[in-house]
Amino acid sequence: MDIHICSQQKQRNASGFTLVEVLVASAILAVGIMGVATMIARSTIQDARSYHTTHASLMVEEAIEDMLEDQWRLATYRNMTAPVENRTINGVDYEMICILANNTPINNCKEMNCTVSWNNKGIQSQTEFTYVFSYKH
């Protein structure tokens, strides 16, 4: 009889995972999966934000490139005006408003501050750019 009791104890000790171990492992796995899902969601939002900021940057860059030519002739430099533009790119409306200030930051220079705003799926966003022009003689 002693042999029979010993073999039953060995079988009970050699069994698989307990219910508590399985629950703890499942909880740890669930927390890890939720963390990964959160990171994926946040990276998707950041990707969309950078996509729209890139389009805004390109709008301002195009305006600056158009105005750079005006720096080489005094008449056109004096008559520079700040651009205002509305553009729809891939279904998103962008609005660029620029303000041109004379003799800023130093005499004979013009500082242009541009704000580009857009509304993507109900989220209003904007970015700002500053550029300084000077007469090239």
pLDDT digits (tens), the chain, 137 positions:
555 565 555 555 557 889 999 999 999 999 999 999 999 988 988 888 899 999 999 999 999 999 999 999 999 999 999 999 999 999 899 999 999 999 988 998 999 999 999 998 888 999 999 999 999 88
Angle at CA of residue 93, ends 60 and 126, nearest 5°: 55
Contact present, 95 and 105 (Cβ < 8 Å): no
Q: Are strands 123-134 and 92-102 parallel, antiparallel or unpaired?
A: unpaired
**Sequence-separated (6 or more) residues with CB below 8 Å from residue 62:** none
- Assessment of whether the complete model's pTM goes beyond 0.85: no
